[in-house]
Amino acid sequence: MGGTEETRETALVTSIDVSGRTSAGDAVTADGPDREPTKGTREAGVGEQSRIRDVFSAYVALTKPRIIELLLVTTVPAMFLAAGGVPPLTLVLMTLVGGCLAAASANTFNCVLDRDIDERMRRTRRRPLPRHAVDPIAATIFGFALGIAATLWLGFGVNWLSALLALTANAFYVFVYTMILKRRTSQNIIWGGIAGCFPPLIGWTAVTGSIALAPFILFAVVFFWTPPHTWALALRYRADYEAAGVPMLPVVKSASVVARQILIYSAVTVVVSLTLWPIAATGWLYPLVAGVAGAALIWESIGLLRRADAGLRDAALKPMRLFHWSNSYLALVFVAAAIDPLLF
C-alpha cells in the first residue's frame, strides 16, 4: 500500500470435524428419529461456531478497519465539496464500498509482507499472522481478491478514473512504501504516506469524473498531516520500532529533533488547509474550523517540543495526546469541508 524472514506458519482452518462422535457416557437412546442431541454433539456445534468466528475475526483484522475508517473520513467530504452539496447517496455508497475494499486489500498485503516485523513488536504481535491465525498464502489470496473486487466495483459502479486512482494508491502502498521505503529510510512515512492521500481524489472524481485543483489541496493536507501523526505514534513506540529494525525518524533522531519536525509539518498542514478557502470558494465555516483546529494542532505540537527539550522520552513525552488530536483535527477539517457547501 524487501523480503521478510520466514516465520513458523500453521495451516488455516478450512474444515472442522463435526462427525458427532461421542463417548459412551454422552450417548442417549430414543425410540425414533427425533433423538435429543447428545452433550458431545452440542459441544462440538458450539466449538465449530467459535472457530468460524475466530477465523472470520482474523480476516477482518487483516484489513485494519480503524485505518479504513480514517480513509473514509477524507473521501466523503471531498464528494460533498465536488457536488457543491449532497451528492447522490447511491454514488456515495458505491464509492465507500469500493474504497473499503481497496484499502482492505492494501492493508492485507501489508500484514503479509510485514509479519516478521509485527511479530517482534508488542503493539502488533497480536495481529492474525504473527499469532498464526491465518496462513500467509491464504491472506495473500484474500488480498488479491479484495483488490480485484475493488477495481471492478469502482470501475463498473462509479467510474474507471476512480478505480484507477484506487488501484494506484494500493500499488504505491504495497510496492513503494511496504516493500521499499519502510525498512530502508527514516523518510519512509513522508513519501510512503502518499498512498493515504488518494481518497480525496477518489471521492472528487467519483462525482465529477475529472481532476481539479481543490481535491489536490485536500491531497496535500493529508500529505503534510501524515508525518506528525505517524511520528507521534512512533515516539510512543520507539523501542518497538527499534527492536523490529524499522528506521522510523524517532529511532534514528533525538526526541527534540523529531518534535521540531512535527511542529514544522503541523504548521505547513494548517497553512495548506487554509488555501482551500479561496480555491474552492468556501463560505466562512470552513476557514473558521480549519483555523481553530489548526491552532490547537500547532499548540499540541509546541507542547510536545517543550517536553522533548526538557529531556522527557517515550511515554513520558505524552506523544499520544498529539496523535489522538491529529485524528480529531483531520476529521474536523474534512467535515467542515463537507458541511460548508450545504450552508453557503
Is the confidence at residue 335, as pLDDT, over 90? yes
Give CA–CA dist 292/30, Å, rounded: 75
pLDDT at 46: 62
82 phi, psi to nearest 5 deg: -65, -35
Tell the burial category of 32 from Cβ atoms under 10 Å away from its Cβ (0-12, 13-18, 19+).
Answer: exposed
Q: Which domains does the chain have, with CATH numbers?
A: 40-211 (1.10.357.140), 214-344 (1.20.120)
Instruction: Tell me the average pLDDT across 189-218.
Output: 96
Give the C-alpha separation, 176 to 192, whole Å. 7
Rg value, the chain, Cα: 24
pLDDT score of 11: 35
Residues counted in the chain: 344
Least confident of 17-26, 53-62, 128-137, 304-313: 17-26
What mean pLDDT value characterizes the chain?
89
Highest-confidence range of 1-10, 52-61, 248-257, by mean pLDDT?
248-257
* 61-108 pLDDT tens trace: 999 998 888 888 999 999 999 999 999 999 999 999 999 999 999 999
- Do residues 4 and 116 make contact, with C-beta atoms less than 8 angstroms apart? yes
Condensed to tens digits (0 to 9), the pLDDT of residues 272-306 reads 999 999 999 899 999 999 999 999 999 999 999 99
* Per-residue pLDDT tens digits for 114-135: 999 999 998 899 999 999 999 9
- Residue 24 pLDDT exceeds 70: no
Residue 114's CB is within 10 A of a number of other CB atoms, namely 23
Instruction: Measure the CA dihedral 299/303/305/306, to 10°.
Output: 130
Residues 6+ apart with CB under 8 A from 137: none
Distance CA 285, CA 104 (A): 33
Reference 108, options 158, 157, 68; nearest CA is: 68
What pLDDT does 47 receive?
64
